[in-house]
Chains A and B, each alone.
Chain A
Amino acid sequence: MAIVGVVASGNLEALFERTDDESACRVEISTAAHGFQPLWEAVLRDFVARGAGGLRISINDGGARPDMVALRLAQGLRLMQGPEA
C-alpha cells in the first residue's frame, strides 16, 4: 500500500491498496466540497485509462483542485508500481 499527500486545504490524502480484481479500480472519495462530481469523474476517467486495475483508492479531500488531484493520483500509482509495493 501507499499513502500520498496530506489532508490540508487545497490538498488531499490518498491511500492506495492492492485488490485481487485486476479488472476494476475502486475509488472512495470523502469530501466536503459539493457540486464537483463531473470534475472528479473526468479526472478519474483519465487516471484509470492509464492502467489502474487492481487498486482500491481512498481519498480524503481538503478541497484540492483537479491539477492537485491528478498529481496525487499519478504519484500514488507510481509508488504502487515501485519495487516495494
Chain B
Amino acid sequence: MPGKNWTTQKAALAERIEAGGRYATGKLVQPGDLGEFFEAVLRAGDRVCLEGDNQKQADLLAQALAELNPARVHGLHMVQSGIVLPEHLDMFEKGIAKRLDYSYSGPQSARIARMLFSGKIELGAVHTYLELFARYFIDLTPNVALIAAVSADRDGNLYTGPNTEDTPTVVEATSYKSGLVVAQVGEIVERVPRVDIPGDLVHFVVPAGKPFFVEPLFTRDPAAITETQILTAMLAIKGIYAPYNVRRLNHGIGFNTAAIELLLPTYGEQLGLRGQVCTHFALNPHPSLIPAIEAGWVEQIHCFGSEVGMEDYIAARPDVFFTGPDGSLRSNRAFCQTAGLYACDMFIGSTLQIDLAGNSSTVTTNRVAGFGGAPNMGSDPHGRRHPSAPWLQAGKEADDTTPPLLRRGRKLVVQIGESFGAKNEPLFVERLDALSLAEKLNLELAPVMVYADDVTHIVTEEGIANLLLCRDKDEHEQAIRGVAGYTEIGRQRDRKMVERLRTRGVIQRPEDLGIDPLDADRNMLAARSMKDLMTASGGLYQPPSRFRNW
C-alpha cells in the first residue's frame, strides 16, 4: 500500500515516552507525580493491563489510577487477570475505566456483581488465565501495562522475585507491540539480584518505597480441616491416586486437597504409595505440602506464583523448586498454566455447585468470583499427544470400543467436596446459579467453571462416582445422585440403579475400598497446625502473622 504509514504505533509510543518523560528523571517517576504522569501518558479508550492476579498486585499504580480525574482520563478498557483491590472497581465507578476483560475477582465478587447489574461495567468476558494471556497476543494487546516488581536498577532492569507470576507475559505482549510499560518497584538498587525483565522493555519505573501487596491465598490452616474432609481425602487417595498411579498433577486451593497433601506422609505411606503418586506438580508452593516434600514424596514442582512465608523454604529446596541464580523462586503463571494443561494427568479441586449433568461453578446469584486456574487445569486438552498410564487408562474407561492406537486418552478431572458446604449449602443442585446470573446479565455464556464433559470423577464423603464408566445420561445422573449424600439431589436417587452402579464399580463407597471410618481422624494429618508446618520445614517456613496464633 503505497503511502501508508506502517509505524504509527512506534510513533505513538515515542509520544507517550516523551510526554511521560516530563515527569521523570531518567526512567524514574516519583509516586507524588503519578497523577500528572498518568494524564500525560494515558489516552481515552486505551487498553490497559493493570497487573494484578489472585496473588500479587501493582497496588501503588492502582491507587494512583483510581484517583485520576475522569474528565482527563476516561473510558479505559482494562484487560487484567484480577479484579481484587477496591481501586480496581473504583475506577469503573468514576468512569475512568469502562470495559473489562478479566479472569478472577474473588475478594470483589459481591461488588463486581452489583456493578455488572447496574451497568457500571461493560463486560467483555470472564476468561481462564491462559485464555486471557493468549488474547494479549491476538486481540486484547495492551497499549499500556502497569506492572509490579521487587526492585529495579536505573536502566529499568527488573527483579520480580519469587512472585514473578504474570509479569513476563504482560511485558512481552505490551512492549513488543509498541505499548508503554510502567513498573512500580519496592526499591531502586545498583544491581538487581537477577534480571527477570530486561530494562529495554521497561519505559518508566516508580519507586514505591514498599513491596507490592501479595495475598497468601494458598495457605490453609491444618487446624481447620474436618474429619469428613479427611475421609473424603482418603477416598481420593485410595480410590483415584492409587489405581490410576497419578504422578503428575495439580491441586486446587481448598481444604479437601490440603487434607490430601497432609495425608500423603501418613495414610499414603501406609498404602505404599510414596514414589508411585504425586511426584510432579504444577502447583503454588502450598505450605500444606511441606510434610510430604520433607518425607521425600515430591520430585519437582513448577509454580504459578509464590506463597507468602515460603520464600526461605523454597530457596533451601532447589532440587524441588525452579529457582534463579540468585537462589529465589522463579514462578511464571503462563508457563505453569500450560504445564498444568498439557503435562499433568489430573486436576483435583473443590467447587461450590455441581448440577445433575456434572457442570460445576463457583458463581452464585449475587457473587461473581471469576475463575482461578480450575477451568484451564480442569479441562481435557485435545491438543495432547503424549501417552501416560493414567491418561490411557482414563481414555479406555471412557471408550472401550475404539482401537487403542486411535483412542484419545483422558485427563482426570476430579471435583471433590462434602455434600454440604459452608453454611450448610448443598454442593449438588438441580440448576446452577450461574445460569440465573447469565440470564440476569444477558450473557451469551453462563460462567461455568468446569464443564460436565470434562469431569471424570466426583468425590464426596459418601463415595467416588467414576463418570468415565457411565454409558448413558441416566447412569451419569444416578452416579452423581449416588454420591450426593443427604442433599435433595442425593435423597431423590434411584436406589436400585445406584446399587447396580456400585456393583459395576461406577460408585465406590468407603467400605468398598476398605477404608476404616475410624481412620478419619485428625491424628492422621501429618501436621495439625500452622506451627506443625513450621516445625516440619525446620523453621524455614515463616507463616504470615494472621496465621500465627501462638
Give chain A's interface residues, CB within 8 Å of chain B: 10, 39, 42-43, 65-68, 70-71, 74-75, 78-79
CB nearest to B516 among chain A residues: A78
Q: Which of A67, A75, A78 contacts B485 (CB 8 A)?
A: A67
Known A71-B227, A71-B228, A71-B231; contact A66-B518, beta-carbon cutoff 8 A: no
Known A75-B520, A78-B516, A78-B518; contact A68-B419, beta-carbon cutoff 8 A: no
Tell me if B419 and A66 are in contact (CB < 8 A).
yes
Tell me if A68 and B228 are in contact (CB < 8 A).
yes
Tell me if B418 and A67 are in contact (CB < 8 A).
yes
Q: Does any Cβ of A come within 8 Å of B420's Cβ?
A: yes
Query: Distance (Å) between the CB of B507 and the closest chain A CB?
Result: 14
Tell me if B486 and A68 are in contact (CB < 8 A).
no
| Per-residue A-contact encoding for B310-352, CB less than 8 Å = 1, 0 else | 0000000000000000000000000000000000000000000
CB nearest to B421 among chain A residues: A65
Give chain B's interface residues, CB within 8 Å of chain A: 226-228, 231, 418-420, 424, 460-462, 485-486, 491, 510, 516-518, 520
Tell me if A42 and B486 are in contact (CB < 8 A).
yes
Tell me if B520 and A65 are in contact (CB < 8 A).
no
Tell me if B486 and A71 are in contact (CB < 8 A).
no
Contact residues in A for B228 (Cβ distance below 8 Å): 65, 67-68, 71
Contact residues in A for B518 (Cβ distance below 8 Å): 75, 78-79
Give the most central of B228, B418, B510, B516: most A CB within 10 Å: B228
Query: Distance (Å) between the CB of B82 and the closest chain A CB?
Result: 32
CB nearest to A64 among chain B residues: B228
Q: Which of B226, B227, B460, B491 contacts A42 (CB 8 A)?
A: B491
A65 to B486, CA, bound (A): 9
Contact residues in A for B419 (Cβ distance below 8 Å): 66-67
A72 to B244, CA, bound (A): 30
Known A42-B486, A67-B485; contact A78-B418, beta-carbon cutoff 8 A: no
A16 to B29, CA, bound (A): 72
Contact residues in B for A43 (Cβ distance below 8 Å): 486
A79 to B424, CA, bound (A): 28
Tell me if B420 and A74 are in contact (CB < 8 A).
no
Give the most central of A42, A43, A68, A71: most B CB within 10 Å: A71
A-B contact pairs, 15 of them (CB 8 A): A10-B226, A66-B419, A66-B420, A67-B418, A67-B420, A67-B462, A67-B486, A68-B226, A70-B461, A71-B227, A71-B231, A75-B518, A75-B520, A78-B516, A79-B518
A79 to B510, CA, bound (A): 16
A79 to B226, CA, bound (A): 20
Query: Distance (Å) between the CB of B423 and the closest chain A CB?
Result: 10
CB nearest to B486 among chain A residues: A66
Query: Distance (Å) between the CB of A11 and the closest chain B CB?
Result: 9
CB nearest to A76 among chain B residues: B517
Contact residues in B for A67 (Cβ distance below 8 Å): 228, 418-420, 460-462, 485-486
Query: Distance (Å) between the CB of B195 and the closest chain A CB?
Result: 51
Tell me if A75 and B486 are in contact (CB < 8 A).
no
Contact residues in B for A42 (Cβ distance below 8 Å): 486, 491
Q: Which of B420, B510, B516 contacts A65 (CB 8 A)?
A: B420
Contact residues in B for A65 (Cβ distance below 8 Å): 228, 418, 420, 424
Query: Distance (Å) between the CB of B498 and the closest chain A CB?
Result: 12
CB nearest to A46 among chain B residues: B486
A-B pairs, 4 with minimum CB distance: A66-B486, A74-B517, A67-B461, A67-B228
CB nearest to A77 among chain B residues: B517
A32 to B518, CA, bound (A): 27
Contact residues in A for B420 (Cβ distance below 8 Å): 65-67
A75 to B419, CA, bound (A): 19
Query: Distance (Å) between the CB of A38 and the closest chain B CB?
Result: 9
Contact residues in B for A39 (Cβ distance below 8 Å): 486
Give the most central of B418, B419, B460, B486: most A CB within 10 Å: B486
Q: Which of B227, B462, B510 contacts A68 (CB 8 A)?
A: B227
A74 to B227, CA, bound (A): 13
Query: Distance (Å) between the CB of A4 and the closest chain B CB?
Result: 9
Given contacts A74-B510, A78-B516, A78-B517, 4 further A-B contacts (CB under 8 A): A42-B491, A66-B419, A67-B461, A79-B518
A67 to B226, CA, bound (A): 11
Contact residues in B for A70 (Cβ distance below 8 Å): 461-462, 485-486
Contact residues in A for B462 (Cβ distance below 8 Å): 67, 70
Contact residues in A for B520 (Cβ distance below 8 Å): 71, 75
CB nearest to A39 among chain B residues: B486
A10 to B518, CA, bound (A): 18
A79 to B228, CA, bound (A): 18
A67 to B510, CA, bound (A): 13
Tell me if A71 and B461 are in contact (CB < 8 A).
yes
A43 to B227, CA, bound (A): 18
